[in-house]
């Protein structure tokens, strides 16, 4: 896969869109982002010392109904990478990766449809490696701290590339999900309530059991608090 490495850019997801006319798979990385963003319009701290990259992949026959496979694969690749360096990662549904209750990585995916199929996907991954996260009040962790020794951005980026290019399964994704069967706090808009997380369906939706019975939720509908 062709690789483009920049010193900085506003957002790797936005920058890689310039290469869409080439119709080829590639990955674009930046040493830092000035406008890094996560899901639901949130900002993502992107100072030097982290891996910030976007993977552009064109699909031949991937049904739109199977879009969750892209998200699950990206989260699995991050978990594999963290585990390789000695950390114990877990996935906070649907795709944030945590270590010891602190956020290690965020993923932002943009899919483009052609009829009922996905034409191409842009998978943006931000992975903390050795960056200073002290200003975030302890909610995030970098891989160097999680591993117990300093890691360079280059070696972590290389491992992430290798893991992203390997195939993955939903079962492997689920092996990094630790909250199933447990009580979680669900927030839907202004409403918050407790529920038991039962299972993650193959389309990525979450099956929960609350006071009124079982429900199926999508990531876009809720903010899940473990």
| In the chain, domain spans | 2-175, 183-225
Task: Look up the pTM and report it.
Answer: 0.92
**Amino acid 40: pLDDT:** 52
- Whether pLDDT at 112 is above 80: yes
Q: What is the distance between the alpha carbons of residues 97 and 75, in angstroms, rounded to a whole number? A: 7
Q: Which CATH number fits domain 183-225: 2.30.30, 1.10.10, 1.10.287, 3.40.50?
A: 2.30.30
pLDDT by residue (tens digit) across 124-179?
999 999 999 988 888 999 999 999 999 999 999 999 999 999 999 999 999 999 99
Q: Are strands 191-200 and 26-33 parallel, antiparallel or unpaired?
A: unpaired
pLDDT by residue (tens digit) across 58-67?
999 999 999 9
- Whether pLDDT at 1 is above 90: no
- Whether pLDDT at 43 is above 90: no
- Whether pLDDT at 209 is above 70: yes
Contacts with 186 (C-beta within 8 Å, 6 or more apart), sequence order: 192, 193, 194, 195, 208, 210, 217, 222, 223, 224, 225
Mean pLDDT of the chain: 92
**Amino acid 81: pLDDT:** 98
Place of tokens 């927030």: 187
Lowest mean pLDDT among 41-55, 83-97, 128-142: 41-55
**Amino acid 223: pLDDT:** 78
Compute how many other C-beta atoms are within 10 angstroms of the C-beta atom of residue 112.
13
**Amino acid 220: pLDDT:** 73
Percent of the chain exceeding pLDDT 70 equals 95
Strand-pairing partners, residue 209, are 196, 214
**Amino acid 154: pLDDT:** 97
Longest dimension (CA), the chain: 52
Secondary structure (H, E, C), the chain = CEEEEEEEECCHHHHHHHHHHHCCCEEEEEEEECCCECHHHCECCCCCCEEEEEEEEEEEEEEHHHCHHHHHHHHHHHHHHHHHCCCCCEEECCCEEEECCEEEEEEEEEEEEECCEEEEEEEEEEEECCCCCHHHCCCECCHHHHHCCCCCHHHHHHHHHHHHHCCCCHHHHHHCCCCCCCEEEEEECCEEEEEEEEEECCCCCEEEEECCEEEEECCCCCEEEC
> What is the dotted CATH code of the domain comprising 2-175?
3.30.930.10
């Amino acid at each position: 896969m062709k690789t483009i490495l920049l010193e900085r850019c506003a957002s790797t997801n936005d920058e890689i869109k310039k290469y869409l006319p080439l119709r080829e798979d590639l990955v674009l990385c930046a040493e830092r982002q000035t406008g890094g963003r996560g899901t639901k319009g949130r900002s993502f701290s992107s100072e030097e010392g982290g891996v910030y990259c976007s993977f552009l992949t064109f699909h031949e026959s991937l049904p739109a109904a199977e879009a969750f496979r892209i998200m699950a694969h990206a989260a699995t690749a991050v978990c594999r990478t963290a585990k390789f360096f000695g950390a114990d990662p877990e996935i906070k549904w649907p795709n944030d990766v945590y270590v010891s209750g602190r956020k290690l990585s965020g993923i932002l995916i943009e899919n483009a449809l052609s009829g009922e199929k996905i034409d191409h996907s842009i998978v943006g991954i931000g992975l903390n490696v050795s960056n200073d996260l002290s200003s975030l009040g302890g909610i995030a962790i970098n891989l160097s701290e999680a591993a117990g020794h300093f890691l360079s951005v280059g070696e972590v980026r290389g491992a992430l590339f290798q893991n992203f290019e390997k195939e993955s399964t939903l079962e492997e994704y689920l092996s990094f999900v630790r909250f199933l069967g447990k009580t979680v706090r669900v927030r839907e808009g202004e409403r918050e309530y407790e529920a038991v997380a039962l299972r993650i369906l193959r389309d990525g939706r979450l099956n929960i059991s609350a006071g009124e019975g079982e429900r199926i939720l999508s990531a876009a509908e809720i903010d899940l608090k473990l």
